[in-house]
A and B are shown apart, each in its own frame.
Chain A
Amino acid sequence: MKRRLPWVLLAVSLGVMAVGLLLGEYRTVLEKAITVCLDCIGIG
């Protein structure tokens, strides 16, 4: 019973991730990642 928790958590997490991908969030992350992040380098 106790060891079901991580499997449930993992399944829910993967489900949430899949919904995010279906909503097109990969593109949002990609657009951020391929643009020089001025905040990250300290000139934003």
Chain B
Amino acid sequence: MTGKNFPRKPRDKRPWYQAAFALGLNAWIPSWFKGEIFQGGIKGICVPALNCYSCPSAMGACPIGAMQTFFGGLRFNLSVAEKKFGLYVAGFLAAVGSAVGRMPCGWVCPFGFIQELIYKIPTPKLKIPHFMTYFRYAVLVTMVVALPLLIVDQFGYGETWFCKWICPAGTLEAGIPLILLKADLRPLVGFMYYWKIGLLVLFVGWFVVSQRPFCRTVCPLGAFWGLFNKGSLFRMAVDDEKCTLCDKCHKDCPVEIKIYEQANSPDCVRCLRCVSSCKFGAISYEFLGKKEVSPDNRVKGPA
């Protein structure tokens, strides 16, 4: 921070932020001892992360779960003229996206943090083909919006399809702990539970060998916020005159993007590791009129 004119590796403080957010979003520890979930009045506040509200200590509401609840109940609500459209959750998601795009994925989301930790296990690693990243949009459209809205029971209620069939965060944060803590739930364990455990095991295996695979290929929350990356207040920028195409940023990127090709890619989780790793100071970010380049690495680029 002293403006010294030589490159040195900055300490990556992001894991500490991620750990703090993971703990902060799940801070009601007494629930773990009681085998209950936190039921305080603040739990209706949506959190900017995929964090299951049935995790015993969860302090807030998962916006993806809440959104599905609204879509699932929309037809019933319309039939009885109940004015519940999901505007609170949709507005929250769009407000976060408009402000910072996909940044909460890189800094706040506990499930993203878990994936990054598991990836540190030293094994041979696998790249994720880019075409697979489009799958998350299909998940968003079908599992979060279309199926809850279109397939309803005799009362007009749809299910939370993503939570029920896919979400490994729910299995990890709520499914396993609650079955261990609440004996009265254990007789209900059946096919669905084993399906979700199996899926979680597959995902964890994938976390070991690939970087943030769930965020990149499945997460509907990341898919939605990624759409805002190009138009959000927070923006990344690459100075073409300073960039030498050395590819260091690509090698260091937790979602394996080439930021010098598309600075505000919908895949970018805005962890800012590239800003730190660029020794030419070519990558910067801008927020509310302030432009920042990593001071630790601001060296003169090639002439």
Shortest CB–CB separation between residue A21 and chain B, in angstroms?
5
Q: Considering only CB atoms, which chain B residue lies closest to A28 in the complex?
A: B84
Shortest CB–CB separation between residue A24 and chain B, in angstroms?
7
- Is the pair B90, A6 in contact by a Cβ cutoff of 8 Å? no
| Contact pattern, B 53-72, Cβ under 8 Å of A = 1, otherwise 0 | 11000101110011001100
| Contact pattern, A 1-30, Cβ under 8 Å of B = 1, otherwise 0 | 000011101101111111111011111111
A-facing residues in B120-166 (Cβ within 8 Å): 159-160, 163-164
Q: Considering only CB atoms, which chain A residue lies closest to B289 in the complex?
A: A3
Q: A6-B231, A29-B44 are in contact. Are A40 and B37 (CB under 8 A)?
A: no
- Is the pair A39, B164 in contact by a Cβ cutoff of 8 Å? yes
Q: A10-B233, A25-B84, A28-B70 are in contact. Are A37 and B44 (CB under 8 A)?
A: no
Q: A19-B87, A20-B87 are in contact. Are A9 and B228 (CB under 8 A)?
A: yes
Query: Which secondary structure dominates where chain B touches chain A?
Result: helix
* B91: contacting residue among A6, A20, A30, A44, CB under 8 A: A20
- Is the pair A23, B87 in contact by a Cβ cutoff of 8 Å? yes
Shortest CB–CB separation between residue B247 and chain A, in angstroms?
29
Complex: A24 Cα to B231 Cα, angstroms: 30
* A37: contacting residue among B65, B93, B97, CB under 8 A: B65
- Is the pair A13, B98 in contact by a Cβ cutoff of 8 Å? yes
- Is the pair A32, B69 in contact by a Cβ cutoff of 8 Å? yes
Complex: A39 Cα to B159 Cα, angstroms: 8
Q: Considering only CB atoms, which chain B residue lies closest to A23 in the complex?
A: B83
- Is the pair B88, A17 in contact by a Cβ cutoff of 8 Å? yes
- Is the pair A17, B185 in contact by a Cβ cutoff of 8 Å? no
Q: 7 nearest interchain CB pairs? A: A17-B91, A20-B88, A20-B87, A30-B44, A16-B91, A13-B94, A40-B170
Instruction: Pull 12 A–B residue pairs with CB atoms less than 8 Å apart, ordered by A.
Output: A6-B98, A6-B99, A13-B92, A17-B87, A29-B46, A29-B66, A32-B53, A32-B66, A33-B66, A40-B160, A42-B192, A43-B189
